[in-house]
Amino acid sequence: SLYSTLEPCCHVGRDESCVSKILNSKKINRVVFSLRDPDSRVNGKGQKKLLKNNIDVKSNVLKELGSNFYQGYILNRTQRRPKVILKLAMTIDGYISTKKNKKTKITNSLSDSFSDSIRSEVDAILVGSKTVKIDNCILKCKSSSFLKNSPIRVILNKKLDININSKIFLDCEKYRTIIFSNVFDKKKLKKYKDKKVEVISFSKNSFNLRNILKKLSSLGITNLLVEGGGETFCSF
């Protein structure tokens, strides 16, 4: 018996399909899975092919748990957007900072560790350009045990005017970094390209969260963590 959270795929991708591997094994005669794969290339076809080849199939096992676990993947495949998680640290009277336009810390080590674990579980982390300018943040996992799981870093910066010497641009060859902007000027783009930053430019009319989420989804991002700042929170 083979157990899987998701329906075995029946299309060729980076490797042969899961269904082919099951059939070629000559040993597996029963497949149990939780969730039908919403990908249009699968979506019941995997199960159908297994049944056709006399494999006993049981589906929808722990379906609710499976759906919750795969929420980002389902949204990516059906609505062309990732699951969006909004993370705010806030004072009791509703502020995300104690001083305007100045980096201030209102969290403690326990909440920082929790935030770090969330970062390690998502595909990408998104901030507005103001957060990068004020905090000079690096947006990687801080714990050494999580560092290798640091997510893709995404910045919203219409004017493409973040200081090229900011900390976040020091290691873009190792940690993928994407900026969404309104800028198409080749000379300006080259500065960031030289730092291994990916710049994705939209026209002014097309620069909106719907299109940005759609693009992120096409890059394979299923879970997106939004970390700030105030304007970005309000936009979402």
- List, as own/partner pairs, every contact residues 187-196 make where C-beta atoms lie below 8 angstroms and the sequence separation is at least 24, other chains included: 188/160, 189/160, 191/164, 192/160, 192/164, 195/164, 195/169, 196/172
Mean of pLDDT values over 18-44: 95
Residue 13 binned pLDDT confidence (cut-offs 50, 70, 90): confident
Please provide the DSSP assignment of 211-233 as one string.
Answer: HHHHHHHHTT--EEEEEE-HHHH
What pLDDT is stored for residue 129 in this prediction? 95
* CA 50/CA 84 separation, integer angstroms: 34
**163 φ/ψ angles, rounded to the nearest 5 degrees:** -55, 125
pLDDT in tens, 122-148: 999 999 999 999 999 999 999 998 999
Q: What is the pLDDT of residues 44-68, one digit of tens each?
A: 999 999 999 999 999 999 999 999 9
Q: How confident is the model at residue 170 (pLDDT cuts 50, 70, 90)?
A: very high
Give the dihedral of Cα atoms 129, 134, 135, 138; nearest 10 deg: 40
Predicted TM-score of the model (pTM): 0.88
- Beta carbons of 110 and 117 less than 8 angstroms apart: no
Are 1 and 32 in contact by the 8 Å Cβ rule? The answer is yes
- Element housing 120 (H / E): helix 109-121
| DSSP at 16 | S
Q: What angle do CA 151, 157, 160 make, to 5 degrees?
A: 115
Is residue 167 a contact partner of residue 136, using CB atoms and an 8 Å limit? Answer: yes
Strands 223-228 and 124-128: parallel
Residue 10 banded pLDDT, cuts 50, 70, 90: very high
The predicted pLDDT at position 90 comes to: 86
Let me know: does 227 contact 126? Beta carbons within 8 Å: yes
DSSP string, 66-88: HHHHTHHHHHHHHHSS-EEEE--
What is the C-alpha to C-alpha distance for residues 42 and 60, in angstroms, rounded to an integer? 15
